[in-house]
Chain A
Amino acid sequence: MAQEQIDSKEISRRDLLQGGLRNLCLLGVGGAAGLLIGRSRAQATVWQIDPYTCISCGNCASYCVMEESAVKCVHAFAMCGYCDLCTGFLEPEPDAINKGAENELCPTGAIKREFVEDPYYQYTIDEKLCNGCGKCVKGCNAFGNGSLFLQVRHDRCLNCNQCSIAAACPSQSFRRVPADQPYIIKEAYHAG
């Protein structure tokens, strides 16, 4: 009786080949699935600028493959001081604190200044005029809270496999981020 049971468990050559073939198929299907998942993950990323390491060198304005750069200045209102004498909007030593073109820092006039309440003003970016040069970012970082910063705008970016601005970025601030979190928004700090 015991001998019969042992005999019935013996594996024939055919069983071995069938099992092997089945396992190979499974491995193939698994591998293909893994490749597809990996590829879909790779595609689900987009280019973005790390605003904490960006040095506003100006290359974003001139190295994008698009005629009008996909990089624009954005504004974190939560960080803004709403300064009257905004150093992202005005020349370092303006003749007057107003919207006069001679006093504005932005060479393309892309920053709009609006009175909120005494003594506070709100600044917004006109993206049609902004070329992503980062001059205002430098002014804001130098004296203010750093609420102006550059970001790749994904309604414009072609998401090139090799971003030409990333290749020209001296501070290696361009990196791939998940497509469902495509922006790196600066947060308020409270230095002592």
Chain B
Amino acid sequence: MAAAVYLLCALTSLACAVLLLRAYAKSRVRLLLWSGLGFAGFTVNNALLFTDLILLPTDISLILPRNVAALASLLLLLYGLIWDMSEGRRGRGGEA
């Protein structure tokens, strides 16, 4: 049961990553690149979770890499969201 849950999470985040990156390849909207990478990171996080809690014995813990993957994914996603949002407000410096 638990295994199925983690697997479902991993597959769902993988689907999001693929869809977003595919759309980025087409549209070149950078928000999609960063959020696609973010979801790829969530996929790693979920895969590590599966490995840690299902495959590996309990005395080995991947909690640190899992947490790092989650935080890195969020930072990628947020970078896209914030960069993209503020691009509008950031005056272009080069008054060429």
A associates with B: no
Interface residues of A, Cβ cutoff 8 Å to B: none
List residues of B whose CB falls within 8 A of some A CB: none
